[in-house]
Amino acid sequence: GQCCEMPIGFIQIPVGVAGPLLLDGKEYTVPMATTEGCLVASTNRGCKAIYVSGGASAVVLRDGMTRAPHESSIDTSSILQIKGVSSVGVCTGTGTGMYPVLLLSLKWSTRASYRSSRFARLQSIKATMAGKNLYIRFTCSTGDAMGMNMVSKGVQNVLDFLQSEFPDMDVIGISGNFCSDKKAAAVNWIEGRGKSVVCEAVIKEEVVKKVLKTSVESLVELNMLKNLTGSAMAGALGGFNAHASNIVSAIYLATGQDPAQNVESSHCMTMMEAVNDGKDLHISVTMPSIEVGTVGGGTQLASQSACLNLLGVKGASKESPGANSRQLATIVAGSVLAGELSLMSAIAAGQLVKSHMKYNRSSKDVTKLAS
């Protein structure tokens, strides 16, 4: 019953590997679970282009999981006291309406009863109002766990404290959708959730021609008109890319992540620019909400654990808590970079349909083979 109630068996999803992905001087063989033919092959081609161009580099800008409970009170003025804002301005931290962030931080960090984990550390609190309703977005570091349960436990303790300080406050729910989990939301696109990562590479002109079968000029133009302008015309929220979710979901399935978190984890802006006198291609992906962990949940399953071990990020980092999950996030971003590079090249070269007809068509009835 681990990870699933009333189990009746397992489903099989093919797992392929792309790589080596040369990222920050290290080589990774990336496991991808998918039923879409051509996906692994295309990502592998992107990895090759990155490798022969000297590799990619990635940086983690933020690392914090969020939970945003929903509270209500008898009227707006009562909620303003809880939020810490009076009708004449921000309270200074003394008297009625004492800014609760100070109290919450103190309680969270110094009182054992408010510390639900050895690894959870409060980073920030952001509150917003809708009438007499209050939404407080807590952001916490969570070590190598994806951390949503960890943060929820700590937030529940804080809510208990708030209710003792503000008897008129009602807790409507531990999650008020200002988190925002498993939904496309501007708050994640702007503020980030999980790991916020930027990954970049410079692809040499000869590699663009020989490996990717296109030109730097064509890629830059296509990226502007498709990923930026086209996505804007579609009213995209976080979808300024070619197919980031393809790679994210494939790696998530292979490594035991929550596949539903592919929604916000795939928020990605792909950018391309001609550099070095217009000869070479600079490509980057900015992904503000990669939600991954290397402990807990589906990472404990045998196959998924093996895939994490293949990447060298299995379990918790004893030397630097959180290092393994951050490394996994950079691998996800690097793989997305490879996937974006290859698919965009296929479209620019007019090869997308041809490649899918070749690799994404089954010529055998596997159900007969199984019997």
Cα(207)–Cα(22) distance, integer angstroms: 15
Instruction: Look at residues 121, 176, 109 and name the one whose alpha carbon lies nearest to residue 150.
Output: 121
Query: Is 258 a residue of the active site?
Result: yes
Determine which one of 24, 36, 165, 221 is catalytic. 36
Q: Which of 132, 182, 213, 282 is catalytic?
A: 182
273 catalytic? Reply is: no
Dump the DSSP string for 43-83: HHHHHHHHHHTT-BEEEEEEEEEEE--EEE-SSHHHHHHHH
Known catalytic residue at 182: yes
d(C-alpha 251, C-alpha 242), whole Å: 17
Within the chain, strands assigned E span 15-23, 26-33, 57-67, 70-72, 85-86, 89-90, 121-130, 133-141, 170-173, 194-203, 239-240, 268-275, 280-290
- Is the distance from CB of 21 to CB of 28 less than 8 angstroms? yes
Q: Which of 153, 258, 273, 282 is catalytic?
A: 258
For residue 195, CA distances in Å to 88, 137, 292, 327, 332 come to 37, 16, 8, 10, 11
Closest CA to 65 of 175, 204, 166: 175
Is 205 among the catalytic positions? no
Q: Which residues are catalytic?
A: 36, 182, 258, 356
